[in-house]
Amino acid sequence: MQRNRIAHNTLSYQQNLPDLDGLKNESRYSRNYFFWFAILVLIDEIFMEFYREYSKCLENNSYFE
């Protein structure tokens, strides 16, 4: 709020978000950003592994050459 008042000479009516410790200790998974980021990383790792296997199959298959 202080930043907006100084930078734009206005007041901010937004509520302050919780700090990182508050997010880490959040009891509801739907509001825990660390949990959702970990899920996205896991999905990314799975798709990268699928693509590696797909690439190996294409290299080993002489039908496509």
CA separation for the pair 26, 5 (Å, rounded): 30
CA separation for the pair 25, 22 (Å, rounded): 5
The whole-number pLDDT of residue 58 equals: 86
The average confidence (pLDDT) of the chain is: 77
Whether residue 16 is predicted with pLDDT greater than 90 in this model: the reply is: no
Domain boundaries, the chain: 2-64
pTM of the model: 0.47
Whether residue 9 is predicted with pLDDT greater than 80 in this model: the reply is: no
Alpha-carbon separation of residue 6 from 2, 9, 11, 12, 14 (angstroms): 6, 5, 9, 11, 16
pLDDT in tens, 37-61: 999 999 999 999 999 999 998 888 8
The larger pLDDT score, comparing residue 14 to residue 61, is at 61
